[in-house]
Amino acid sequence: MDTLFTNKATKRCQAIVVLPVCNEEERLGACLQALHGQSVPYHAYELLLFLNNCTDESAAIAYQFQQRHPNLSLHIAQQTLPQAQANVGTARKMLMDEAWLRAGESGVILSTDGDTAVAPDWVEMNLKQLHAGSELVGGDIALAGRDLARLPERARAQHEADREYQQAVTLLESLLDPDPHDPWPRHHHHFGASLACTTAFYRRVGGLPQVDCLEDVALVEAARRADARVRHSPAVKVVTAARMAGRARIGLASQLREWQGAPEEPLVDSAAFLKLYFSIRHQLRRVWEGQSRRSAAASAMFSVLGVSEAALDRVFERCATFGALQDALDLRATLWRQMARGQHATGRLAATRDITALTARLCAAEHLAGSVTDGTLRDYAIPGGSENSHAPDLRWPDSRQLLA
């Protein structure tokens, strides 16, 4: 395998940070400054920066930062990739594969982006989660407040509505199908701006899938199929750019453009469907883990899925993981078909309202009344349109000033 970097990681290095960059002259300086100002010693981590197909001043900014901060183990590679490979999926895979080779079987790989500023304890908190037993960690991603304020009104409103819906879904999932490796409080982000994994996990799932975009989502999907221990940690925080013109073919920028141009509110999974899906998945998980199949809940699950216990046993025999079992049963699509037409999807605002009401009822039934309220969801969700206190420097100074 050809390598981007010829030197080797030091023996004391605990984590390798990968940073793919394409034309980020306005944000790269703040990104690097945040990575330089970490709470762990400089020898504890190194940074692999890959400048791919840059036509702006990103390279000059990176090399000058390297010269001005020799205490940071910053290694820089620069290439012009062929058109078919000139994408974030290829660049991130090249970096993560390189990090895996450098770090060895007991190492750690961290990923962020050139338009992102990580919190001062980002490396430390990722290491803490991985040392506690997680194999893959998604960080909590806030959008820069100044960027949000500049977005078109509809795109900003749709983003905020989606954030509230996704967080409501996450809480409902935590109640109906709790994951001991990913307990509440948690969030729903698992994207390249803040991902961390062990090298053992990276090898086990075959590395980062080879796709031109959404490579981060593809890695998380591989983790699900492998029953990996995934943590969506609220202690791991970054702030990233919110812009309508992005670098990836599909990503945040394309989603913002889609929301801006959509004439109507999008349809999403309804509270009724999510309740069914999470409940059946939880019961199926219990059966997979060896719990009784004779309970009323197990019998109801067999009925809803339309399979007999004997038929399910045959599927179990073919599957090595619970994730593979879900795929074999086509669980989500199967349950979607079980619901009456028009009940499985609804408008996002109505769905958020219904899910919030459902979680409140569930908590009340568990004698936890008051722990889940509109206020709780509001407090935990990332506030839109304002600068978050945890985020390092949301003013985003123009990095070109470093060349002066």
Tokens of 347: 């408008």
Residue 241: pLDDT above 50? Answer: yes
Dig out the tokens for 388 from the structure.
Answer: 């978050």
Q: How many domains does the chain have?
A: 2
Instruction: Supply 330's token pair.
Output: 């086509």
**73 and 48 share one domain:** yes
pLDDT of 347 over the 70 cut: yes
Mean model confidence pLDDT for the chain: 87
Q: Same structural domain for residues 222 and 339?
A: no
Same domain, 367 and 302: yes
In tens, the pLDDT along 349-389 reads 999 999 999 999 998 876 543 443 333 333 333 223 333 33
Domain co-membership, 216 together with 351: no
80-126 pLDDT tens trace: 999 999 999 999 999 999 999 999 889 999 999 999 999 999 999 99
Q: Is residue 124 part of a domain?
A: yes
Same domain, 179 and 237: yes
Whether residue 2 lies inside any domain: the answer is no
Q: Using alpha carbons only, what angle is made at residue 89 by residues 38 and 194, rounded to the nearest 5 degrees?
A: 25
Residue 161 falls within a domain, yes or no?
yes
- What is residue 392's predicted lDDT score, i.e. its pLDDT? 33
Q: How many CA atoms lie within 13 A of 99 on its CB side?
A: 35
Distance of alpha carbon 390 from alpha carbon 362, whole angstroms: 31
Q: How much is the average pLDDT of 193-209?
A: 97
Query: Based on the domain organization, do 102 and 71 belong to the same domain?
Result: yes
Residue range 286-312: mean pLDDT, rounded: 85
Tell me, rounded to whole angstroms, the distance of Cα 277 from its chain centroid: 21
How far apart are alpha carbons 167 and 279 in whole angstroms? 18
Does residue 55 belong to any structural domain of this protein? yes
Residue 339 token pair: 């619901």
Query: Same structural domain for residues 229 and 349?
Result: no
How many Å apart are CA 230 and CA 191, to the nearest integer? 13
Q: Is the pLDDT of residue 401 over 80?
A: no
Residue partners of 249: CB distance under 8 A and separation at least 6: 87, 212, 213
> Does the pLDDT of residue 177 top 60, yes or no?
yes
Average pLDDT of the segment spanning 187-205: 97
Name the residue with higher pLDDT: 369 or 144.
Answer: 144
Residues 397 and 258 in one domain: yes
CATH number at residue 145: 3.90.550.10
* Per-residue model confidence (pLDDT) at position 1: 56
Looking at the fold, whether 143 and 288 belong to one and the same domain comes out as: no
361 domain residue, yes or no:
yes
Residue 77 has pLDDT above 60, yes or no: yes
Q: Are residues 285 and 305 in the same domain?
A: yes
Closest CA to 248 of 272, 274, 217, 276: 217
pLDDT at 378: 32
Identify whether the C-beta of residue 108 lies closer than 8 Å to the C-beta of residue 131.
no
Residue 251: which pLDDT band, with cuts at 50, 70 and 90?
Answer: confident
- 36 lies in some domain: yes
Q: Name the pTM for this structure.
A: 0.89
Count of CB atoms situated within 10 Å of the CB of 28: 28
Looking at residue 17, its pLDDT comes to: 98
Residues 245 and 113 in one domain: yes
Separation CA 37–CA 309 (nearest Å):
56
Mean pLDDT over 249-260 rounds to: 83
> How open is the CA angle 229-232-238, to the nearest 5 degrees?
135
Mean pLDDT of 294-312: 85
pLDDT for 6:
83
CB half-sphere exposure, 338, CA atoms < 13 A: 19
Q: What is the mean pLDDT of residues 168-179?
A: 96
Instruction: Give the confidence band of 255 by pLDDT, cuts at 50, 70, 90.
Output: confident
For 296, the domain range is: 271-380
Whether 4 maps to a domain, the answer reads: no
Going by C-alpha positions, the residue among 144, 139, 188 that lies closest to residue 162 is 188
Tell me, yes or no, whether 3 lies in a domain. Answer: no
Regarding whether 345 and 220 lie in a shared domain, the answer is: no
3-state SS of the chain is CCCCCCCCCCCCCCEEEEEEECCCCCCHHHHHHHHHCCCCCHHHEEEEEEEECCCCCHHHHHHHHHHHCCCCCEEEEEECCCHHHCCHHHHHHHHHHHHHHHHCCCCEEEECCCCEEECCCHHHHHHHHHHCCCCEEEEEEEECHHHHHHCCHHHHHHHHHHHHHHHHHHHHHHHHCCCCCCCCCCCCCCCHHHEEEEHHHHHHCCCCCCCCCCHHHHHHHHHHHCCCCEEEEEEEEEEECCCCCCCCCCCHHHHHHHHHHCCCCCEEECHHHHHHHHHHHHHHHHHHCCCCCCCHHHHHHHHHHCCCHHHHHHHHHHCCCHHHHHHHHCHHHHHHHHCCCCCCEEEHHHHHHHHHHHHHHHHHHCCCCCCCCHHHHHHHCCCCCCCCCCCCCCCCCCHHHHHC
Rounded mean pLDDT, 38-59: 97
Bond preceding residue 70 cis, omega within 30 of 0? no
Cα separation, 213 vs 215, in Å, equals 5
Tell me the pairing of strands 230-240 and 136-143.
parallel
Q: Which of 2-16, 75-89, 201-215, 319-333 has the lowest mean pLDDT?
A: 2-16
Q: Compare 2 and 308 and report the one with higher pLDDT.
A: 308
